[in-house]
Amino acid sequence: MKDSAINKEGLSRIDGRLKVTGAARYSAEYTPAGMVYGVLVGSTITKGSIRSIDTKAAEKAPGVLAVISHFNCPKIPGYQIASTEAGKPEPKGTYKLFYNNKILFNGQPIAVVVADTFERALFAATLVKAQYTSQAYQTSLKNNTASAFAAGENGESKRGTVAAWKTAPVKLEQEYVIPSEVHNPMELHSIIAHWDAEDKLTVWDKTQGVKDTQDGIANIFKIPKENIQVNSKFVGGAFGSALQVWPHEVAAIIAARVVKRPVKLMLGRADMFTSVGYRPHTWQKIGIGATEDGKLVGISHEAIGQTSTYEDFNEEPVSVSRSTYACPNVNTNYKLTALDIGSPTWMRGPGEATGAFALESALDELSYALNIDPIELRLKNYAETDPESGKPFSSKYLNEAYKMGADHIGWTDRSPKPASVTKDGWLIGYGMGGGMFGAYRDQATCRAVMIADGTLLLQTAVSDIGPGTGTAMVSIAAEIMDIPAGKIRFEMGDSSLPYAPSQGGSSITATVGSAVNDACKELKEKFSQLAGNTETPDYTKILKDHNLSKLEVTTASKGGDNMNKYAMYSWSVHFVKVCVHPTTGVVKVDKVVCVADSGHIVSPKTARSQIVGGAIGGIGMALMEEVIIDHRYGKLVNNNFADYHIPVNADIPQIEALFINKPDPYINPMGAKGMGEIALIGMAGAVANAVYNATGKRIRQLPITPDKLI
């Protein structure tokens, strides 16, 4: 009965046909009766206050139903509670829409215009005119690092002797900078909000987690979460940008309440650059020292990342230096600088991708200083146990990954001497960089229902931002139930379904997969008991024999209890071959090999896509992506795809995705670890290292654009 396709190259995406034919409906593609449209008006100043807003012309424009700003916005109860603690400074937190007259960043929503058509709302929004009082603002990280403050609990960490690297025979100290980068998934962020009754709300929303969005809205509007229905059946990409309730979502919900009709609010592409977070611009400095034979003596890793004035956004840029390599002395320091720009948010490999660019570049620089091959240097400092906690790793086959990747890229063709190889007028170079990310497993619940016709229905509230979660879950269930994948229906993206956490932190296969695994095993057991035998049950026959229309279980899977016994990480290594044109500085990525140690691979086809997507993101990070702010105005200038460059098909070579594919014995029943983040983490360093090998030019400030190479 087994679907042989699952066992060889893996199941094809169960929703692939729906996606490529346009049959998949995304959150903006619903039309509740009476739906109208909201368009946001953004602040044209960067800091200060609103004196007045003239909404008369907009209100008189055809089809306009309402113009809402802080002047007439109904009180939002969740905001008020946080701020009524008299005498205390306003607590920091996510941005509060239409809360007062303060302007905290350029483009901040100051009003929402609601009209009967999108075009009329868009036009009327241009008629809203605000008068402001401007204040001086700071939007440059570089000019404001002196005001940086400790980044909460991730702030400072010491192991062994501080600055021990300075006493090492071979040492270097360098600064590494990444600009801020924006998510810009293909699908624009969008919400449709519909109040079914005074305190009952339905939303169709782009979100990474329907349950978290339900909680988030309940907290802001102070209504019972059971009264909020969140639907997010398909998500056209998100990797951190849809993990929180953003102002545009609050605006639509408020607008729907005011006009008493369902309101759709979809961000325009330009707003996607300023309204749903970004990877923070981050300055880093690494000091690293080793013995002559390449044993690490010490690492010092400092980082200063940008945040906003109203929220302390924290990630973990320096953690990679504490757990990647065996090193007795490591001190890290992470600070934030508050700028007059909207808050950053998590973005694929949040923190680790930033930190790994610096660490993997520094290791590469050290390898040249020592005249030791970069792989050999990493193997000399291979951590057999977690150097930070001292705990054993639940699994780690990174050494095998180095070897596999080196074989596939043709590492032996690499010349250890920079700028020494040319072909057809192009400089050729090879580089590598590694990634790591915690392997997490959280709680989740799955309902499994076997229906009389032999269909297995699986239900859990997870949403799928793109990796192919449904496909992975069906793969797990088909294997356990021993039925063809085509007989399994996976339902998700609906807050009325059993609990699943948000899709984030590369944890969903481990988390929801465990719930699917446990539910299927329990259901199968129930059938075996009914039939009085333990062999593979004939589900339809048993249901018929017992006169049942279905048999179901709802099974909760707890989070990983082995997490305190073992250090759990996924590991990756990226190998890159580049060609650099000596005259124009153009970098062509010629070949990429990525090897992931992600435990057992439950869904090989979608796993491959995940790695390829991460590698492409890493190439973008290394060579193209950069938010540019004109500090004279505090305004983002390249808020479009013509000026903000991301890789296109022609920029991307063949990418080989390889897997160690050995189960982790401790994390979950499948032995599967995450891979979403490690697909990107380390990739930018690998590209930068390849560029150095090709050219002898060490670029420590991303992106590596041609002007930096000529």
Residues that bind ligand MOS (CB under 6 A): 208, 239-240, 243, 346-348, 350, 504-506, 677
Nearer to ligand MOS, 348 or 414 (CB): 348
Q: What is the DSSP letter of 26?
A: P
In this structure, the chain runs to a length of 710
Quick one: tokens of 6?
């699952």
Start-to-end C-alpha separation, the chain: 61
SS3 state of residue 628:
coil
Smallest gap from Cβ 508 to ligand MOS, in A, equals 9
Closest approach of ligand MOS to the CB of residue 274, in Å: 19
d(CA 705, CA 700): 12
Instruction: Output 342 or 349, the one with its CB closest to ligand MOS.
Output: 349
Q: How far is the CB of 677 from ligand MOS (least distance, A)?
A: 6
Closest to 681 (Cα-Cα) out of 602, 624, 597? 597
Identify whether the C-beta of residue 710 lies closer than 8 Å to the C-beta of residue 444.
no
Sheet holding 48-54, edge to edge: 102-103, 48-54, 129-134
Nearer to ligand MOS, 237 or 582 (CB): 237
The smaller minimum CB distance to ligand MOS, of residues 3 and 442, is found at 442
Q: Which residue is nearest to ligand MOS (CB)?
A: 240
- Written as six digits, the tokens of 696 are 């002898």
- How far is it between the farthest Cα atoms of the chain? 79
Alpha-carbon dihedral angle through residues 136, 138, 142, 145, given to the nearest 10 degrees: 100
Separation of alpha carbons 655 and 613, rounded Å: 10
**Closer residue to ligand MOS in complex, CB, 427/678:** 678
**DSSP letters along 477-535, please?**
HHHHHTS-GGGEEEE-SBTTSSP---S-TT-HHHHHHHHHHHHHHHHHHHHHHHHT--S
**Minimum Å distance from CB 243 to ligand MOS?**
6
**CB nearer to ligand MOS: pick between 242 and 655:** 242
Q: Please count the other Cβ atoms lying within 10 Å of the Cβ belonging to residue 243.
A: 24
Instruction: Considering the complex, state which of residue 233 and residue 348 has its C-beta at the smaller distance from ligand MOS.
Output: 348
Catalytic residue among 181, 352, 479, 677: 677
Alpha helices in 70-198 (DSSP H): 77-83, 118-127
3-class secondary structure for 138-153?
CCCCHHHHHHCEECHH
**Distance from C-alpha of 557 to C-alpha of 512, rounded to nearest angstrom:** 8
The residue assigned the tokens 């868009």 is 122
Smaller CB distance to ligand MOS: residue 505 or 513? 505
Relative to beta strand 200-205, strand 587-597 is: unpaired
Q: Residue 358, class by beta-carbon neighbours within 10 Å (0-12 exposed, 13-18 middle, 19+ buried)?
A: buried
Cβ within 8 Å of residue 109, ≥6 positions away: 40, 41, 42, 43, 97, 98, 247, 248, 251, 275
Structure tokens at 500: 């699943």
Q: Is 677 a catalytic residue?
A: yes
> Which of 65/675 has CB closer to ligand MOS?
675
Whichever of 434 and 504 has its CB closer to ligand MOS, that residue is: 504
The CB-of-238 to ligand MOS minimum distance in angstroms stands at: 7
Instruction: Write down the least CB distance from residue 275 to ligand MOS, Å.
Output: 17
| Alpha-carbon span 299 to 207, nearest angstrom | 39
**Alpha-carbon dihedral angle through residues 182, 187, 191, 192, given to the nearest 10 degrees:** 170
Nearest residue to 692 via CA among 366, 401, 402, 424: 366
Residue 280 Cα to chain centre, angstroms: 13
CA triple 550-552-557, angle to 5 deg: 165
Least spacing, CB of residue 433 vs ligand MOS, in Å: 19
Scored b (16 or more CB within 10 A) or e, 500-537 reads bbbbbbbbbbbbbbbbbbbbbbebbebbeebbeeeeeb
List residues with catalytic annotation.
677
